[in-house]
Amino acid sequence: MSRKTTDRLATGTIYAFVGVVVAILCGLIGYILITGIPDISWHFLTSAATAFTAGGGIRDQLFNSLYLLLLTLVISFPFALGCGIYLSEYAPQNWVTGLLRMAIEVLSSLPSVVVGLFGYLIFVIRFNLGFSILAGALALTFFNLPILTRSIEEALQDVPNLQREAGVSLGLSNWRTITKIVLPIALPGILTGIIISAGRVFGEAAALIYTSGQSAPTVDYGNWNFLSADSFLNPMRPAETLAVHIWKVNTEGITPDAVAISAGASAVLIVIILIFNVGARFLGQRLYQHLTASKSK
């Protein structure tokens, strides 16, 4: 075979593989959207789920998913940021750092159902939190922490060392170099990391079945007192999320329109995750432009 033919063959093979991956992805997303979107209506998004009759919506599940995501990020972001800064900027090359990295790697490959059962034992039972948003958020933090830490570390590592040298040689302290120079430069990358991990958290079901529970009690969306039992903000109430709802409707749903609800809810889930991803890119770019003042030119 001549070199030219080999080259063409190799290129063709690579394109074929890429084509297969893209086809699978488009087919999957397309199928979910095509079967689901007709079931989405304003009524579907804004009414409560029903147990036995048709015509139930996903209002509470949608809100629960977003609220849980927010709480998870509020809890996990500070830890991940600290850990990422440590690993990227301070950690010496020794066995302690090696152990830490390995721990993060292992944690990130834990099956989410294991994280869920662990969360059930420790938060729901031992700490007596019951099935609650808080227990769910803590379990999801376990799940989210390694990925977020890794992506923050990578974003910081992408900042060229010359920038650190410039800061330090100018007489900035280490801390000020990190906060005033390295972090702002890494911010778009960090943001992208947060939003992509948010997508994963948003679609998570297995870790939540045993922690935030499978029921969505009726809550009062006008009650802003998060200590009151029927407030939508109360973190101690059980909360079925969208992903859990899809699982539950499919396994034990007895409403006549279970199939339609599941299809609609899946489409909503996918659309929101797509919005996260597109939003991440857009926001990251905007933020970078803003921070680097590269506007008019």
Partner 1 sequence: MTAIMTSTDVHLAYGAKEALHGFDLSFKQHEISALIGPSGCGKSTYLRCLNRMNDLLPDVTITGTFKLGAQDIYAAKVDVVTLRQRVGMVFQQPNPFPFSVYENVAFGLNVVGHYAKADLDQRVETSLKQAAVWDEVKDHLTENARTFSGGQQQRICLARVLAAQPEVILLDEPTSALDPISSAKIEQTLLTLKANYSIIIVTHNLQQAARISDQTAFFLNGQLVENTPTQQIFIKPQQKTTSDYLNGKFG
Exposed, middle or buried by CB within 10 Å (0-12, 13-18, 19+), for 194? buried
* Cβ proximity to partner 1, 126 vs 297, nearer residue: 297
Evaluate whether 234 touches 227 at the Cβ level (below 8 Å).
yes
State the minimum distance, in angstroms, from the CB of residue 28 to partner 1.
Answer: 39
State the minimum distance, in angstroms, from the CB of residue 296 to partner 1.
Answer: 7
Residues within the interface to partner 1 (CB under 8 A):
92-93, 160, 162-173, 180-181, 184-185, 291-297
* Cβ proximity to partner 1, 37 vs 168, nearer residue: 168
State the minimum distance, in angstroms, from the CB of residue 288 to partner 1.
Answer: 9
Distances (CA, A) of 246 to 36, 48, 170, 251: 12, 14, 56, 9
State the minimum distance, in angstroms, from the CB of residue 175 to partner 1.
Answer: 10
State the minimum distance, in angstroms, from the CB of residue 171 to partner 1.
Answer: 3
Integer Cα distance of 228 and 51 in angstroms? 25
* Cβ proximity to partner 1, 99 vs 170, nearer residue: 170
State the minimum distance, in angstroms, from the CB of residue 98 to partner 1.
Answer: 15
* Cβ proximity to partner 1, 185 vs 280, nearer residue: 185
Helices then strands (H, E): number in the chain? Answer: 12, 0
Integer Cα distance of 192 and 126 in angstroms? 35
Integer Cα distance of 28 and 227 in angstroms? 42
The dihedral built from the CA positions of residue 35, 39, 45 and 48, taken in this order, carries a sign that is: negative
* Cβ proximity to partner 1, 11 vs 173, nearer residue: 173
Exposed, middle or buried by CB within 10 Å (0-12, 13-18, 19+), for 254? exposed
State the minimum distance, in angstroms, from the CB of residue 93 to partner 1.
Answer: 7
Amino acid at 182: V
* Cβ proximity to partner 1, 8 vs 180, nearer residue: 180
* Cβ proximity to partner 1, 1 vs 162, nearer residue: 162
Question: How is 263-294 classified by DSSP, letter by letter?
Answer: HHHHHHHHHHHHHHHHHHHHHHHHHHHHHHT-
